[in-house]
Structure 1
Amino acid sequence: MQTEKMKNFDDIRPLYDSEVPSVIQSLVNDPYFRRATEPLIRPLTWEMFSRSMMACRTIFDFQRSIIHPFMKQLIAKTTSELSCVGFEKYNDGSSHLYISNHRDIVLDAAFLNILLFDRGTDTCEIAIGDNLLIYRWITDLVRLNKSFIVKRGVSVREMLDTSRHLSEYIFDTIANRRQSVWIAQREGRAKDSDDKTQTSLLKMLTLHNSAKPSEALRSLDIVPLAITYEFDPCDYLKAKEYQLKRDNPEYRKSQADDIENMRTGIMGYKGRVSFSFGNRINDTLSQIDPETGRSEVLEIAREAIDREIYRNYVFFPINYVAYDLMEKSNTFSAHYTDKDRQFFENYIAGQIAKIEIPGKDHAFLREKLVEMYGNTVKNFVSVT
C-alpha cells in the first residue's frame, strides 16, 4: 500500500506493482517503443513479445519474464564471461548502497541486477539521471525496472531541495524499505577510466541527516563495487568526444549522441566482464571523531570508496599493456606476451579508424584510448 511518506517521492520513485499493467499497455501501444525494441527481441515476433509484456502484473513479473531473458541473451552475444567476486559477504538479506565506478550508461546496473537475480537475491533500485530520459517510453521502461530519477536539469536555487529530496528517498529505501540501491560514483561516465568518487555525491547522501554526516553515511551501509569490462564498445566514441571538446570547449553531446552511446554500449562486444564487491566502508566511518567537520568526513569517505574500487579491479592483458605504454615502462611485462601487445596495438588502430571527425588527431586519439585501458592499473598501483 502507498503510504503518505512514499507519496512525497512520487516525482522520482520507480513504479508500484499496481501501476504496472497500465504502463505496460502504454508501452505496447507506443510505436517508438516498438521501433526501438523490435530489432532487439529477434527471433521473437512483436506479437509474441507484447503478449509476454501484457502478462506481467508486477515489477518482479517484468524483471523475470522480460528483462532477465533479454539480458541473458545479450550477455551470451556480447560477452565471453560475466563474473562476480565477493558477493557472498552481502548475501544475507540486508540492504546496502552499492557505489561503483561508471563504464556503461545502461549496462553497469543491468548486469548487477542479473547477477543478483541469478543468485536468488532481490534486485536493487537504480539511480538514473533525467538527462537520459529522452522519450516517454524510456522513462516508463526504466521505472518498470526499479529505477528512480536523479534530477539534473534544475536551477542552482532548486538544487539543495532537490538533493535533499533524493537523499531522503535513498535513505528511506535502504533503511526503512530494506531495499538495496545502486548509484554511480560520479555524474556521467569516467571517459578515461580514471575513476574518482565525486564529493558532491557524498554530500547529497548526507542531507537526510546533515548535522551528522558520518552517521548519515553509516546508515546507508555503503559497499564499493569495482566494474571491469575487458573491452569498452564505446571507447572510440569517448575518444571522439575528447577531441571534439578539445577543439571546441563549447561542444556538448546531443540526444542523438546519447542514443548512439546507449545502443553501442548495449550491443557492442565487451569480452570478459567482472563485478567485484569491496569491503563496506562503515568500519572506516565508525572511527571518525564525532567532532570532525563535514568536509573532512566526506574526504575520508571518498578515499575509502576509491581505495576499495581500485584494489578490486580485475585486469586483463590489455590493461597491463596499456599501463606500460602510458608509463613507457616494462613494469607489468610478465603479465602479457608480445602477441598481447600487438593485439592491443591493432585493436586501438581499429577503433581509431571508426572515428570520423574534421582534423582527426590520430596521436591524441591513441593517447586517450590507451589511457582508458591503463588508468585502472595506474589507480591500482596508487593504493598498493
Structure 2
Amino acid sequence: MIQQSNHNSQFDEIRPYEEGEMKEAFEALIADRQFSAVMKGFAPWLPKSVRNGLLRLLFLGVKTPLDFQLRFMKPIVNFIIRKHTDGCSFDDSALRSKLNAKCSVLNPDLRYTFVSNHRDIVLDSAFLDLKLIESGHPTTVEIGIGDNLLIYPWIKRLVRMNKAFTVRRGLTPKEMLASSELMSRYIHYAVTQKKENIWIAQREGRAKDSDDRTQESVLKMLAMGGPVVVNSSPFTLHSSLKELNIVPLTISYEFDPCDYLKAQEFQQKRDNPAFKKSKQDDLDNMRTGIFGYKGRVHYHCGTPINQWIDELKELPKKEFFTELAQRMDREIHAGYRLYPCNYIAIDKLDGTNEYTSYYTDADVARFEKYLNGQLAKIHIPNKDEAFLRERILTMYANPVRNYLKAKEMNN
C-alpha cells in the first residue's frame, strides 16, 4: 500500500501519484514481472539485479512526477525527435506578455488547459511537455489516459508516475455522467489548487481524416467542475471555463506515420460496418506513431479563450457551447503549419494547379514516393488502391481547407 500524502482524497481513484508516493510506486514497478520482461528486452545481456540497480541509481533524487519526467522521459522524447522527425518547433507567443520589443515573459502564476487536435496517442502530450520546459514554463502537463489502455498493473503505475489521470471507458450513461463530473472537478482542482497544466484532446479519439473539430461534449465536461456553476446558466458556465485558462493548441505533422493505418481502417469499415479494431491494432498504431517518420512537427498556441469568451456569455446554453466549439475550431485551424505535401494533396484531389506556388517538382516527387510507400504497407483483402489513395490525400488536404476557411472568417 502506497502511503498517501496530503491531498484531496475524492480524486484518489483517478489522479497521478503525488510527492511522497513516487518511491514506493517505483519499487512496485521494478518488482513487477511483466515490467522486468519489458526492461530485459532493452538490455538482455544485463542480469535483472544489475538492471534494477541501475534503475534505482537513476531514480535517486526523484521525488515528484515532474522529477520523473525530467530524469527519464525528457531524454527519451529528445531521442524520438532526433531519430524520427526533422525537428519539433513550438510557438507559445500567445501566452507571453510583451514587456518591450526585445523581451517577453511568462506569468509564472498561470497554468493552462491545452485543448488540441489529436495526432498521436502517446506523443501529443510528450512533445508538448518537452517544449513547455524548454520555453521556460515551470511545469509540464497532466493528461487523461483511458483505462482501456491500462491493460497491465505496471502500465497504470508507469503512467501515474508520468502525470496521467485515469479516464474511465465503457460506462453506462449514468456512470459516464458521474465519471465526467469527477474528471472535470479534478481538472479544475489540478489547475487552480495543484497549479498544474492540463492537456486534453478536442474530441474523443483522433480525426482519421484530419478534419479536426471540437466536440461540444468535451467543453461541457470541462465546464461541469467549476465551483461557480449554479443551475448551468450561461454566465456561470462561462466563468467555470475561464477558471481553466483554456488555450486552443494546434499540432501539425508534415507526415503522419499512421496515415496508411487510418486509410486501411476506412476501407475495413466501408467493407464491414461492424468492423472494430483489436487491442493489437491499437498497439500497432501506438508503435507506428512513436517510431514512424513524421517529418517536421509544429505546435502553435492560439489566443487563450479568456481573451474572447466574454463575447459569448449572454448566449443561451446550447448556442453558447456551439459557438464556443466553432471559435475553438477557428483558432486551431488558423494555427496549422502547412507543408508542401498539404498543398500537393489538395491540388491532386481537386485536379487543379491552384497551389503550385507552395511546392516544387521535387516536392511532388518526394510526396509521390512517400505515398506509394505508405500504400504498399497495407495488406488487406480486396485492397482498393484508389479508395485508399483518396483517403490519405484527404488527410493531407483537409488542414489546407480548414486553414483557409479560418483565415477568411477571422479577417
Distance 1:64 1:153, change over 3 A: same
| TM-aligned CA distance change 1:48 to 1:358, over 3 Å | farther
Q: In the alignment, which residue of structure 2 is the partner of 1:83?
A: 89
Aligned position for 2:375: 352
Unpaired runs of 5+ residues, structure 1, are none
Match of 2:12 among 10, 13, 22: 10
| Contact kept? 1:41, 1:70, Cα under 8 Å | no
Taking a change above 3 Å as real, the CA distance of residues 154 and 332 of structure 1, as seen in their structure-2 partners, is: same
Matched, 1:287 2:304: no
2:204 maps to 1:187: yes
Give distance in 2, aligned partners of 1:339 and 1:109.
33
- Structure 1 stretch displaced more, 120-129 or 316-325: 120-129
Residue 187 (structure 2) pairs with residue 163 (structure 1): no
1:115 equivalent in alignment to 2:139: no
Contact 1:24 1:53 in 2 (8 A): no
How far apart in 2 are the matches of 1:53 and 1:251?
44
Aligned to 1:68: 74
| Aligned partners of 2:87 and 2:296 also within 8 Å | yes
CA pair 283-173 structure 1, distance change in 2 beyond 3 A? same
Deviations 1:328-363 (A, max 9, x none): 222211000122112212211110110111111101
Cα distance in 2 between the residues matched to 1:13 and 1:207: 18
1:241 aligns with 2:265: yes
Mapped partners of 1:337, 1:182: distance in 2: 37
Q: Distance in 1 between matches of 2:310 and 2:145?
A: 30
AA matched with 1:234 = C
Q: For the Cα contact (< 8 Å) 2:250–2:335, is it kept in 1?
A: yes
Q: Alpha carbons of 1:41 and 1:368: their partners in 2 closer, same or farther (altered >3 Å)?
A: farther
Task: Report Cα offsets for 1:46-83 as digits up to 9, x if no partner.
Answer: 45752345433332331121111111112111111110
Match of 2:101 in 1: none
Deviation per residue, 1:87-136 (Å, 9 max, x gap): 46243221111001000000000000011122332111112222222222
Deviation at 1:201, TM superposition (A): 0.5
Amino acid at match of 1:228: S
Pair 1:304-2:310 in alignment: no
The secondary structure found in structure 2 opposite 1:8 is helix
1:127 and 2:144 matched: yes
**Rounded Cα–Cα distance in structure 2 between residues aligned with 1:99 and 1:180:** 11
Equivalent position amino acid for 1:96 in 2:
Y
Match of 1:173 among 190, 195, 210: 190
SS of the aligned residue for 2:178 comes to helix
Q: Distance in 2 between matches of 1:318 and 1:37?
A: 38
CA distance 1:367–1:155, shift in 2 (3 Å):
same
| Inter-partner Cα distance in structure 2 for 1:10 and 1:41 | 35
| Distance in 1 between residues matched to 2:36 and 2:353, nearest whole Å | 51
Alignment of 1:1-384 (within 5 A): 2-3=5-6, 6-37=8-39, 39=41, 46=51, 50-55=55-60, 56-87=62-93, 89-90=95-96, 91-93=106-108, 94-121=110-137, 122-208=139-225, 209=229, 210-211=232-233, 212-290=236-314, 292-384=315-407
RMSD of the alignment, in Å?
2.1
Which deviates more from structure 2 when the two are superposed, residues 173-182 or residues 358-367? 173-182
TM-score (norm 1): 0.94
Q: Which amino acid aligns with 1:21?
A: K
Q: Distance in 2 between matches of 1:43 and 1:239?
A: 40
Larger radius of gyration: 2
Distance (whole Å) between structure 1 residues aligned to residue 88 and residue 184 of structure 2: 31
Separation (CA, whole Å) in 1 of partners of 2:197 and 2:91: 18
Aligned length: 382
Offset from partner CA, 1:279-321 (integer Å, 9 cap, x none): 011232112243x221111112111111111111111111111
Contact 1:134–1:255 (CA<8 Å) still a contact in 2?
Answer: no
Q: Does structure 1 retain, via aligned residues, the 8 Å contact 2:94–2:304? A: no
Query: 1:183 and 1:40, CA in 2 relative to 1: closer, same or farther beyond 3 A?
Result: farther
Counterparts of 1:89 and 1:256, CA distance in 2: 39
**CA, structure 1 residues 71+43, in 2 after alignment: closer, same or farther (shift >3 Å)?**
farther
Q: What CA distance in whole angstroms lies between the structure 1 residues aligned with 2:36 and 2:358? A: 46
3-state SS in 2 of match to 1:250 = coil
Residues 196-223 of structure 1: per-residue CA shift (max 9 Å, x gap):
0011101111112234221221221110
Shift of 1:31: 3.3
**Deviations for 1:232-282, whole angstroms, at most 9, x for unmatched residues?**
111111111111111111111111111111111111111111001110112
The alpha-carbon distance between structure 1 residues 49 and 153, as it changes in their structure 2 partners (threshold 3 A), is farther
